[in-house]
Structure formats: structure tokens, C-alpha cells
Structure 1
């Protein structure tokens, strides 16, 4: 599980800037925090799918958001999940194993998790292969012994593990802080303009 917290502890500066409208400070801060959390969720998906062979939709499915309120000036963006089937990443070729005919199975399947690393051979003995289960699920499997059964599915990292990448976390944190400050300024300006 990876948790991105956005919290404001002192709102005295906001109260001072609001002057006679200082009672609105908690509302200003809560709105700004919630905008920052919306951006943090979006950036978790964008940054992770930019670095790894995973769709932003698969990343978003693991994320829940707890919003700030006037009485609780903190929010959290939480990604929770287990390892993702290797077949959800980049696997080449993507065709299931075949034993007969002229289009026989490849000698080696290749897979890649991180885009910068490209795809690498799935070596091992016994070798890995792609198969479609009776349920319709297509996965990358390997035998657990020299016999044809049992087999086990191979997995890549979980979404929280990918989000924990240092560069991804830095991008998310930097944008969340910048958004928070910009939204506080915008909310204050809006309230002062309305009077």
C-alpha cells in the first residue's frame, strides 16, 4: 500500500490574507487540498503508466481518495493492490503456446515491466509459456516441475510498488505542493473579489 497524504496544519497565513473573511479559511484550505488530491490521483496514473508497461486505467483502479473537510484539513490518496499478472505488461509474442502445425511456439517468450528496460527473455528451466485458461484468462505460466502439471502464473510488481519509484513519487509530491499553493491563492482571490 502506498499513501500520499496532503495536510495543512497552520492556516493563520490564510486567515490573515482573508482579513474580515477569515472565518472562510478552513473552506479555502479544504478546497485547495481536494484539488491537490485530484491531481495526485491523476499523476499517479500518468507517471506510473509513463514509466511502466501498465495502463493508467489499471493504476486508477487501485486508488481510493479520502477528501478534506472544513473540520479536517487533511486528505489521502491511497493505492492498494497485489502483484499484477505478467501478461498485463508487455509480453512478446502474445500468442499462446502451440505444439502442432507450421506456426509452432517460439523458443523463448520475452517480457518487460519497465519501459526503459525493454523486453527480456523469460529464461528458466522449465521455460515459461503463454496459455489461455478455460475461464478465458490469458497468462504467462511456468511448470513447477519437469511434469506438465502443476503450473503457476508469473506476476510483475503491484501498482503500489511501481508508484513507490523515487522519480514517480517526486513528480507526484512536487505537483501536489504546487497545486495546493496555487489553489489557496486562487480561492483567496475569488473570495476577496466577491467580498
Structure 2
């Protein structure tokens, strides 16, 4: 998911840009860079309670491409990348690998509540990776043809959470207000009499 913003898109008047002169690009770039940093913070604050993921997991999914003050028409981008997140990272319980008969399944955080996969179990692979797994019907392990193969279970990705109606429009609306405030600060910085 990618969101690009430019000063023109956010509605800066040409007369203000002319008054700023050579400082125009610098003022735009500073305001845009503060705005995209705020967008990442706002999105993280909204995604964490909805997803059940920890803040650092969400925060590191964002990449900021900052605007350059040397550009004639500065632009900045917020890029959100991420693959489906393993169910284990959604506060799965039990947290320790299950051995023997796995009754009760695994619960994990889903929105404001918890969901349960009755036939899932927490397992630790020989590589040390811990995850929530489920046996597949019709497929068998190559190392032991008498046992069914297992698949790790995954939930939505961070970009999917970011694209929800409860996140994206709110972040974009706050970004507009934040840019206006930041740009006015830059105008006062470079044109103290305005």
C-alpha cells in the first residue's frame, strides 16, 4: 500500500509559494516530512488495538520516503509493506508449544475479542520457529507417511489493517490538518511578518 502526498495535492496557494521564493521548497519539504511521520504514528495507533499486534510489529511495516528540499516540487510517500502475520503473533494462547494430545485448541486475539481454532496447536519447529499449526487432510508428511502434514496458520497483514475504513480515511483526514498546521509554521518561520 502506497500513499503519495504533494503540497499541490494538499491545496497550497500559488501566492504563498511566490512569497516564500527560494524557501518555498524547503517549507513544503519540512511540512510534508512532518506530516508523513504523523501519518505513520496515527495509523499505528489505530491498527494496534484493532489487530492485537504489538506496536513495534506494526510500526516497522511503514517506510517513509521523505521529501527533498532541493526538489522544485517536493513530494513524500508512506509505504506500508507486510506479509500475512502468523496467528501466533496475535497473542496466541497457550504460548508454549503443546505436546501430546492437544485438546482445546488455540485462542488468539481477533479485534476486541478472542477467537479459537479448536483443531490447532502451538508447535516448535526444529529451526526454533514457534507458530500455530493445523494438520491438513489428505496430505501426509514425507518423513512419516502415517502422519498428516501440518500447515502454519496466518492472519491478515498490516497493509490489510491499514486499508480498512476505520483507519485509512481517518489517517488521511488528520494528515490534511497536520500538513496545514506544519506548513503555516514554516510560513511564519520564513516570513515572520505574515
Q: What's the TM-score, normalizing by structure 2? A: 0.84
**Equivalent in the alignment of 1:14:** 16
Q: Deviations over 1:49-107 (max 9, x none)?
A: 122111121112222111112324211100111101110002222232222xxxx6442
**Equivalent in the alignment of 1:108:** 105
**Equivalent in the alignment of 1:130:** 122
Matched residue SS, 1:96: coil
**Equivalent in the alignment of 1:141:** 133
Residue 15 of structure 1: how far off its partner (Å)? 2.4
Q: Unaligned 5+ residue runs, structure 1?
A: none
**Equivalent in the alignment of 1:121:** 116
**Equivalent in the alignment of 1:43:** 42
More helix by share: 1
- Indicate yes or no: 2:164 matched with 1:165: yes
Q: What's the TM-score, normalizing by structure 1? A: 0.84
Q: Distance in 2 between matches of 1:11 and 1:74?
A: 16
Matched residue SS, 1:92: coil
Q: Distance in 1 between matches of 2:77 and 2:13?
A: 19
Matched residue SS, 2:68: coil
**Equivalent in the alignment of 2:141:** none
**Equivalent in the alignment of 2:98:** 97
Task: From the superposition, tell whether residues 80 and 151 of structure 1 become closer, same or farther in structure 2 (CA, over 3 Å).
Answer: same
Q: Distance in 2 between matches of 1:160 and 1:110?
A: 23
More strand by share: 2
Bigger drift between 163-172 and 3-12 goes to 3-12
**Equivalent in the alignment of 1:84:** 85
Q: Unaligned 5+ residue runs, structure 2?
A: 139-145
**Equivalent in the alignment of 2:143:** none
How many aligned residue pairs are there? 182
Q: Distance in 1 between matches of 2:109 and 2:183?
A: 42
